[in-house]
Chain A
Amino acid sequence: MSRNSVTNNIKFSRILIYIVLIIFAVYYLLPLYVMLVNSLKPLEEIRGGGMLYLPSVWTLDPWRAAWSSAQIGVDPSGLRPYFWNSIAMVVPAVLLSTVLGSLNGYVLTKWQFRGHGVVFGLLLLSCFIPFQIVLIPMAKLLGVFGLAGTTSGLVLVHLVYGVGFTTLFFRNYYAAFPTEIIKAAQIDGAGFFRIFWRVLLPSSGPIIVVSVIWQFTNIWNDFLFGASFADFDSTPITVALNNLVNSSTGVKEYNVHFAGAILAALPTLVVYIVSGRYFVRGLMAGAVKG
């Protein structure tokens, strides 16, 4: 009797937990649902109200328009060129900042020099500098380097900003990596880069995933630097999306805007889905083993 009521209680609380979780899941997924549903409707249907209804006429035209023919600024080019601009900026910026971060982490933990703590502290500080503060000095610097308005310039900006974070990730991960293994490799005759390449990097899978996801999401979603430093031929997709939605001529094509927004968000979504499960594991790996 009493045991029955205990198990019933557990069952009841289980059901309650699931109900609450489902409500939250629906709540958070609702915006995505609205965007998806309305991006598949003709414009008249949206104007007629009923944002939450499924389309009565299904169409992919808004997607095609957003991708290749929508008016962005003065060009009817769609988001396509800007998408590739973003890719051309994100990929090198992510790779370079990850490589530099891991090298920094390696040196700061396994080849410590006098003042390594200060250097790490300063790198850490760079994580907290607000973007707005550096806009003008950065513009000046890009001008001096002749990189103003280029994709390379944007890569440099994001690299500089990203190295603080990636260094933090890798330093903490490598701090838990046994130093005796590095010593063993030294005795075996491996040099600085050989140890890094053959011993340390192959064991860094989880933290590389963390660094790549973090950097990819941040750089892909960046708006301020893109809006400030990019030219017509290097504008990233976030800025283009803004231009698409804000174009003041003609009617507001909400269905195209929705489709464009999803297109702009898609790559980060893909990165998460592909490597997300390593993300949590990677964050834990550095934390648990002291």
Chain B
Amino acid sequence: MAKVTITDLYKNYGSVEVLKGINLHIEDGGFLVLVGPSGCGKSTLLNTIAGLEEITSGDIEIGKNSVAGLHPSKRNIAMVFQSYALYPNMTVSQNIGFGMEMKGIDKNEREISINKVAETLQISELLNRKPGQLSGGQRQRVAMGRAIVREPEVFLFDEPLSNLDAKLRIDMRTEIKRLHQRLGSTIIYVTHDQVEAMTLATKIAVLKDGCIQQFATPYEIYNNPSNMFVANFMGAPAMNLIEGIVVKKKKDIEFEMKNNKGDIISLPIDGVKGLENYIDKPVIFGIRPESINDLELSGKKSNKKMVEKEVEIDVVEPAGSDTYAIVEFGGKQVVTRLNGNSVVAAGEKVKLTFNLSQAVFFDIDTEERIR
């Protein structure tokens, strides 16, 4: 097991910069998730850590040693690929044992390790089959077996679940987390699925266009996004972003926006740091769907951060445990998360509670968080 440190990493393909100065550190036994939209460079970053792609400049350390320029097989890593990448001509047991065979470990010893890993992953009865005879989930397990048997210092996962169907994906997600808890190993995991990122990670790095947008714990990323991209990308449904103006009324600072009819709606936003500099200027107001709900205000009425507003419901999307209602608010389609038992219908006017303690504000030009 080892920590991984990446310093000022650049990667160019010809004149195209793919990674632009990446700095990351993941402690021993940590679970780092690299998340971002397609083409953000997250898989390239993983490949450079694996040594499958050369870096242009910067350094990667695994444990205490720099691995720059080292062959993939010498880096003490194991990788699980999106397509599983099993050797089609070999049996499951040969697949798992191939790395040991290349190292010249003798057959008996290999058998013992293979059987041990197969038992952990419950694939013992599949050992003599070829990959072509396995289901997607079984292939996934074999691919993980091939990684575990190497007993690496760092596991690298490249979107390992994206080829599985929805139900299996959730099961395997839990299994990977359990594996991490049991082995206590360092894991770096690439995904474009922000739910996977939230559930698995101890640290998340959100990437866009080859730059890290935010590198923090899942809680921080979710509740304190550092810019509009992160706020929008993490969370499902996404955070609501509404444009408006900061105004000062007597002592209080308020956020004013116009609804579709042109009426002005205002929310009290006292106590948000940094907003004093934005008086009479436009800003973006961000609020998560779960912060707009139909909970009773009883007892909390005195709380200045809880505000009631009447809105018109546009579309209702029941999801069982919750009911998502899309409402018109501040000229935007705003997603709200209501109680699963709520009886609301489209076209109805209801009073919803806005919990402003979780609200965030962004500069309209730089899209950076105001704080």
Interface of A toward B, CB cutoff 8 Å? 178, 180-181, 183-190, 194, 198-199, 202-203
Contact = CB atoms under 8 A, between A and B. Distances in A.
Contact of B85 (A184, A202, A203): A184
B102 A183 contact: no
Nearest to A182: B85
Given A187-B50, A188-B73, A198-B87, 6 more contacts: A180-B82, A184-B85, A186-B71, A186-B73, A187-B72, A190-B73
Given A187-B50, A187-B78, A187-B79, A180 B85 contact: yes
Given A186-B52, A189-B102, A180 B73 contact: no
Instruction: Label chain B's interface by main secondary structure.
Output: mixed
A184 B88 contact: no
B229 interface: no
Nearest to A202: B89
B83 interface: yes
B81 A189 contact: no
Given A187-B78, A194-B102, A203 B86 contact: no
Contact of A190 (B47, B79, B85, B98): B98
A253 B64 CA distance: 87
A178 B163 CA distance: 15
Interface string B111-146: 000000000000000000000000000000000001
Contact of A187 (B73, B88, B103): B73
A199 B89 contact: yes
A183 B88 contact: no
A181 B99 contact: no
B81 A180 contact: yes
Contacts of B85: 178, 180-181, 183-184
Interface in B66-92: 71-73, 77-79, 81-83, 85-89
A188 B89 contact: no
B114 to A, nearest CB: 14
A187 B52 CA distance: 8
B89 A184 contact: no
Interface residues of B, number: 22
Contacts of B102: 188-190, 194
A184 B81 contact: yes
A187 B158 CA distance: 14
Contacts of A185: 87, 98
A113 B367 CA distance: 41
A100 B98 CA distance: 26
Given A183-B52, A186-B72, A186-B73, A203 B78 contact: no
B89 A183 contact: no
A39 B83 CA distance: 58
Contacts of B99: 187-189
Nearest to A191: B102
25 contacts: A178-B85, A180-B82, A180-B83, A181-B83, A181-B85, A181-B86, A181-B87, A183-B50, A183-B52, A183-B79, A184-B79, A184-B86, A184-B87, A184-B146, A186-B72, A187-B50, A187-B52, A187-B79, A188-B73, A188-B102, A188-B146, A189-B73, A190-B102, A194-B102, A203-B88
Contacts of B81: 180, 183-184
A187 B85 CA distance: 12
A82 to B, nearest CB: 40
Nearest to B156: A187
A189 B103 contact: yes
Nearest to B84: A180
B192 to A, nearest CB: 17
Contacts of B79: 183-184, 187
A181 B52 CA distance: 12
B100 to A, nearest CB: 9
A189 B73 CA distance: 5
Nearest to B53: A183
Nearest to A177: B88
Nearest to B103: A189
A264 to B, nearest CB: 38
Most interface-central of A186, A188, A189 (chain B CB within 10 A): A188
Interface string B39-70: 00000000100101000000000000000000
Contacts of B71: 186
A178 B158 CA distance: 15
Given A199-B89, A203-B88, A187 B83 contact: no
B307 to A, nearest CB: 52
B142 to A, nearest CB: 11
A91 B371 CA distance: 78
Contacts of A180: 81-83, 85
A203 B50 CA distance: 25
In the A-B complex, the 5 residue pairs with the smallest Cβ-Cβ separation, listed nearest first, are A189-B73, A202-B89, A188-B99, A189-B102, A180-B85
A155 B208 CA distance: 56
B156 to A, nearest CB: 9
Most interface-central of A187, A188, A203 (chain B CB within 10 A): A187
Contacts of A203: 88-89
A199 to B, nearest CB: 5
B298 to A, nearest CB: 57
